[in-house]
Amino acid sequence: MGLDLKLIFYFIFKTSKLKIMNIKHLLISTLCFFLGFNVFGQYPNIENDLDRKVKSFLENNTNNWQDMNVPLSDGKVLYDIIIKNGFTSAVEIGTSTGHSTIWIAWALSKTGGKLITIEIDKTRYREAKANFKKAGVSKFIDARLADAHELVPNLHGEFDFVFSDADKYWYKNYFIAMDPKLKVNGCFTAHNTLMRANGIKEFLEYINGLENYKTTLDKSGPSGISISYKKE
């Protein structure tokens, strides 16, 4: 009888362990599948030679965007906003080495638009321009080496899309400067708005208090993007 009990307990232990291992394997496999799908699904459908060139460049440089650039998922968010609304006149405050810029320019290549992007650091500016050329999107970008504190208030014209990703403590000032230049139904976006950096809270409180703007927060990326549409 003692031997039978030992055999029974051994059998229960082995079968339970096997079930746990199978469940664990299933969960890991499922997670890997969805992670792989999400990464693959980040890129838009390829429709022409430019699409192939841009996608190839982005894929080949996936791990090279360390210098204050947005992650791939946030680049796709910006791309989708522009495509969905048909925006054509864009401003980016803070180029870095150009990851987000390429995503925005890629979208503008579809809508027939152009982007003004501003970078204060000469080394990053030069690297960004080289990246634009390699990606094939230079003709959609007006890259400017300047202090955004000075240039943004003096920009001329009307715009329908803004992406702010420079000094966070100046976000509110950038918004105030761009607000009169932003068309009705246009969109002001800002990066890192899930962070507790100096100026983020003040900026969000200000823009959420405006009756003529509707603001949501995209949390698909780790940093967050505030998306504010200007109403009538």
| Tens digit of each residue's pLDDT (9 = 90 or more) over 30-64 | 443 333 333 344 899 999 999 999 999 999 998 88
Report pLDDT digits (tens) over 117-132.
999 999 999 999 999 9
Tens-place pLDDT, residues 89-126? 999 999 999 999 999 999 999 999 999 999 999 999 99
The CATH fold assigned to 49-230 is Rossmann fold (3.40.50)
User: Is residue 65 very low, low, confident or very high in pLDDT (cuts 50, 70, 90)?
Assistant: confident
| H, E, C per residue of the chain | CHHHHHHHHHHHHHHHHHHHHHHHHHHHHHHHHHHHHHHHHCCCCCCCHHHHHHHHHHHHCCCCCCCCCCCHHHHHHHHHHHHHHCCCEEEEECCCCCHHHHHHHHHHHHHCCEEEEEECCHHHHHHHHHHHHHHCCHHHEEEEECCHHHHHHHCCCCEEEEEECCCHHHHHHHHHHHHHHEEEEEEEEEECCCCCCCCHHHHHHHHHCCCCEEEEEECCCCCCEEEEEECC
